[in-house]
Amino acid sequence: MNFDRFLFLTFNSLAGQWPWLDALARLFLNDYFGPTLLAVILIGLWFEGQSEAAQRNNQRAVLVATLGTIVANSLLKIINLLYYRPRPFAQHEVTLLFYRPTDSSFPSNAAAIGFAIAAGVWLHNRAWGRWVMLIALLFGVSRIFGGVHFPLDVLAGAGLGWASAWWVYRQEWLVDKLLTRAIKVAARLEIT
Partner 1 sequence: MLFSLYPLISQNYFTLCLVVSLGVLQWAAARNHKPALSLLGPWGLGLTGQVVGSLLVTGGFVWFFNFTPGLFETGLAGGELSTLFSAASLSALGLARLGGAFWQKQTQRQAEVFTLD
Does the footprint of partner 1 cover residue 98 (CB under 8 A)? yes
97 CA to centre of own chain:
20
Choosing from 6, 14, 18, 27, the residue that interacts with partner 1 (CB under 8 A) is 27
Which residues lie closer than 8 Å to 73 by C-beta, 6 or more apart? 109, 112, 113
Does the footprint of partner 1 cover residue 11 (CB under 8 A)? no
The smaller minimum CB distance to partner 1, of residues 14 and 70, is found at 70
Closest C-alpha among 6, 10, 32 to residue 110: 32
Amino acid sitting at position 70: I
C-beta of 31: minimal distance to partner 1 in Å?
5
Amino acid sitting at position 142: S
Cα angle vertex 71, ends 107, 101, to 5°?
Answer: 35
Does the footprint of partner 1 cover residue 18 (CB under 8 A)? no
- Local structure of residue 101 (DSSP, 8 states): -
The smaller minimum CB distance to partner 1, of residues 141 and 148, is found at 148
Does the footprint of partner 1 cover residue 43 (CB under 8 A)? yes
Choosing from 9, 24, 73, 171, the residue that interacts with partner 1 (CB under 8 A) is 73
Does the footprint of partner 1 cover residue 30 (CB under 8 A)? yes
Does the footprint of partner 1 cover residue 35 (CB under 8 A)? yes
From 12-20, 46-54, 85-93, 149-157, give the range in contact with partner 1 by CB under 8 A: 46-54
From 8-16, 81-89, 129-137, 184-192, give the range in contact with partner 1 by CB under 8 A: 184-192
Closest C-alpha among 70, 183, 182, 169 to residue 121: 169
Contact 114, 20 (CB under 8 A): no
Rounded to an integer, what distance in angstroms lies between the CA atom of residue 54 and that of residue 153? Answer: 36
Could you list the residues that contact partner 1 (CB under 8 A)?
Answer: 26-27, 30-33, 35-36, 39-41, 43-44, 46-49, 55, 73, 97-99, 101, 109, 113, 189-191
